[in-house]
Amino acid sequence: MTTGTTARTTAFGTGLKDRETPAMLRGATKFTADLTLPGMLHLEFVRSRYGHARIDRIDGAKAAAMPGVVDIVTGADLAGHLMPLPCIWIPGGVESHFPPHPSGVPGAGTVLAGDRVRFIGEPVAAVVAETAGQARAAALAVRVDYTPLPVVTRPEQALAPGAPQLHDAVPGNLNALWTCGDAEATDEAIAAADIVVELDLYNQRTINNPMEPRAALGEYDPIADEYTLYATTQSPHNHRFLLSALVLGIPFNKLRVIAPPIGGSFGTKGYLYPDMPLVLYLAKRLGRPVKWADTREGLMCSTVQGRDHRQHVTIAGTREGRITALRCTSHANLGAYPSTIGPGVATALMGRSLTGPYAIPNAFCEVYAVFTNTVPLGAQRGSGRAEATTITERAVDLFAAEAGLDPAEVRLRNMVPPDRFPYDNGLGWTYDSGDYPAALRRALELAGHDKIEVRRREARERGRLLGVGIGSFVAVCGVGPSARMREEGMLGGTWEGANIRVHPNGEVALCIGSTSTGQSHRTTFAQIAADALGIDVASVTVSQSDTQRSPYGQGTYGSRSYSVGGPAVVMAARQIIAKMRTAAAHVMGVPEADVEYAQGRFFVPGKEETAKTFQDLAMAIWYGWSLPAGMAPALDVTSFFDPPDFNHPFGSHVAVVEIDQETGQVEIVRYAAVNDVGPVGNPLVVTGQFEGSIAHGLGQALMEEARYDGEGRLLSADLLGYALPRAADVPVFELDRTTTPSPHNPLGVKGAGEIATVPVTAAVANAVCDALRDFGVRHIDMPYTAEKIWRVIREARR
């Protein structure tokens, strides 16, 4: 790859081993929960036992007398000190309703509950003690008297007349009715179609389970009147602003946010949580650092959860297999409060993605975003896009069955042709580039699709049912552009920054605004810088995740780090090279236009003896002895990139399953995936992202479900009741890539971190339903547990 005038090196596109793994394998990585500061205290929350109730009294007298207890605070103690948490992504373009916030922004609940609790697990008090064990013991001794109130856990029920009202400022519990597309044209196309198919689908609520639960450590310096927060955050700069301006009410310059290694996120750590401002407030109040570290059980009942859409879709078209219309109504369960960006995830990311890779001329989507007495909803790997892909791909399979056509052929007939890009999907996204049919054909080839009927007969002889399913997708990624995100309801920018500083010896310090949650930023961003500068990647170090040291950046989410942060690195590198070229021309006494740069050398063709290396120029500029007039004696550049539009990775996955007829056990016997994320900077890292993403999707398809009872109690509140995929549940994946550069950034790259999750549930759902077709099965909702499938087979045999 050539970037500006920089010659190609071997950094970009090379599968270098990542720099982060050795410390993790040795157990030497320091996560937030591992940090200890002198004099540190420990915090534990007292959480609600009720899904909905008035708080009558909180009695902490017994707890206060227990060993080691330093302080107990309630919502009443925080009044006038901490503002409510804010929500910064609202449903764009429609009327919406939120809990109040004194700054005029949408509110997202108080740090500690005031007069009412709205979900089991909501914090109502906090205990601070000398040790974590003492804090936990004392928290159990805090007595809270409640008056239970009616509970509602499903969005359709929450909208019904007479349903319990969660927030006074949100009539009927409806956050927003959000729409996109053309309802009238879509309804007319459905009425005129040869084939009309309808489907109801529940994309079940799931719980993210990163290796490290959340943690926060607050420190206060009374002399400088400054706060420092160490936290598991994907967005240190964003959270610094939100915490200082909208929760703590302190000057921006008085807060520093540091994100140590995060230990995975899958979307959950991009939010403000009560622990963040509370440890800061208590650190000042008590004059000592305060730390909170979550448990696995605590994570399950308090960290944002994912998915949870109840959808009705209508798909229509011709008997020849042309899809002419697609209409979807979705009830999205936001939980008890809007999370920091939850409403945008549930509306725009789902609704505008509904048509997937297909050229469907008439489409419409409406989303009812609703509050219920459950844990707040947020992002989960592939959020919104996965929900849209699942419902659409199931509908395409049912449409193909009704038309009597092969599901693969129907997809190929309806995919956006390669010559129609950029393509307006009619719902708000403009796809940048792609060859969708090529990815599908390659995935079918990898999966041995032409031999499926032979394998199906062979499986029957062994008493097993074989099914094949396709999941084709497009995923909007690369969030910005900032101006467009404003239209989508985002209260903030979505650009990224990078700083390059060249040391006197030619070594390079790169500091980026984005934050790694496991994507090997210290490796992949070093490769970008090395390639753009034409130097050895070993001479580049990368730092991140500290608001006092790193340039402004909006954070890591929506598969945006590489495609938005990476171009910022390239732009900074170009400025470095331009300055060095000017200095080289001055040193060599030649016109700047004559100077070329390649492989770390500035030279004039034909005068190789006068060439200067990258290191030569770095030292010359640092000395400052002989520089062009007006040139500063340093190589230190900060650049920012705000993309002109989103990028749209795509692909097709094919799942082959076998079902044991006697037990109902579903086994993934083959899984082929072809993804296109544009040019790949580090194939090893990207392959790892693909494999992890597919495993994540298989978890939802086969076993994961957050189940609530009628009182709002989470029945799957630990790993005994909530299954996660293990190595034995995951097949060997057959992976391939096509490469279609995006025109929207100088690297041509597209999002990769989560995109392989997007089609997985669709592919598996289609495969399972295909395997059960002889039993008259039309559709089954996930997860496909052995018990559920066994019951389906048993009922069909009666």
Among candidate residues 519, 491, 448, 466, the one with its CA nearest the CA of residue 685: 519
709 C-beta neighbours (distance < 10 Å), count = 12
Residue 32 neighbours by CB under 8 Å, 6+ apart: 212, 215, 216, 217, 230, 231, 232, 260, 293
Q: Which residue has the tokens 């071997």?
A: 10
Q: What share of the chain is helix, strand, coil (3-state, %, to 5)?
A: 35, 25, 40
Q: How far apart are CA 232 and CA 229, in angstroms?
A: 10
Q: Tell me which residue of 139, 64, 725, 736 sits closest to 381, measured CA to CA.
A: 725
Report the relative pairing of strands 226-231 and 255-258 from DSSP bridges: parallel
Structure token pair of residue 157: 């029920």
Helix, strand, or coil (residue 606): coil
Distance between CA atoms of 311 and 776, rounded to whole angstroms? 22
Phi and psi, residue 477, nearest 5°: -140, 180
Closest CA to 468 of 652, 651, 658: 658
Q: State residue 70's pLDDT score.
A: 98
CA-atom Rg of the chain in angstroms:
28
Instruction: Please give the full DSSP string across 31-84, using - where no structure is assigned.
Output: -GGG---TT-EEEEEEE-SSSSEEEEEEE-HHHHTSTTEEEEEEHHHHTTTSPP
User: Is the distance from CB of 584 to CB of 591 less than 8 angstroms?
Assistant: no
Contact 520, 573 (CB under 8 A): no
Q: How far apart are CA 677 and CA 650, in angstroms?
A: 7
**SS3 sequence of 727-788:** HHHCCCEEEEECCCCCCCCCCCCCCCCCHHHCCHHHHHHHHHHHHCHHHCCCCCCCCCCHHH
pLDDT of residue 12: 87
Cβ contact 565:681 at 8 Å: no
Q: Is 238 exposed, middle or buried (0-12, 13-18, 19+ CB in 10 A)?
A: buried
Three-state secondary-structure class, residue 269? coil
3-state SS, residue 385: helix
Q: Is the CB of residue 560 less than 8 Å from the CB of residue 568?
A: no
* β-pair partners for 47: 123
SS3 374: coil
Q: Under a CB-based contact definition with an 8 Å cutoff, are residues 104 and 84 in contact?
A: no
Q: Which residues of the chain have pLDDT under 70?
A: 1-10
Q: CA 307, 310, 313 angle in degrees (round to 5)?
A: 115
What is the torsion angle, in degrees rounded to the nearest 10, for the CA atoms of residue 127, residue 128, residue 133 and residue 134?
-90
- What is the rounded distance in angstroms from the CA atom of residue 17 to the CA atom of residue 707? 40
Strands 215-221 and 323-335: unpaired
**Cα–Cα dist 387/379, whole Å:** 11
Q: How many C-beta atoms lie closer than 10 Å to residue 62's C-beta?
A: 12
**pLDDT number for residue 21:** 86
- Residues 6 or more apart whose Cβ sits within 8 Å of residue 708: 153, 205, 374, 714, 715
Question: How many whole angstroms from its chain centre is CA 227?
Answer: 28
Structure tokens given for 591: 């016109």
Which of 766, 762, 764 has the alpha carbon at shortest distance from 777? 766
Distance CA 217, CA 262 (A): 13
Give the per-residue pLDDT at 10. Answer: 61
Q: Is the dihedral of CA 765, 769, 770, 771 positive or negative?
A: positive
Phi, psi (5° rounding) for residue 523? -95, -55
Q: How many CB atoms lie within 10 A of CB 710?
A: 10
Q: pLDDT (tens digit, 9 = 90+) per residue, 699-746?
A: 999 999 999 999 999 999 999 999 999 999 999 999 999 999 999 999
The residues, any chain, with a CB within 8 Å of residue 402's CB and separated by 6 or more, are 195, 197
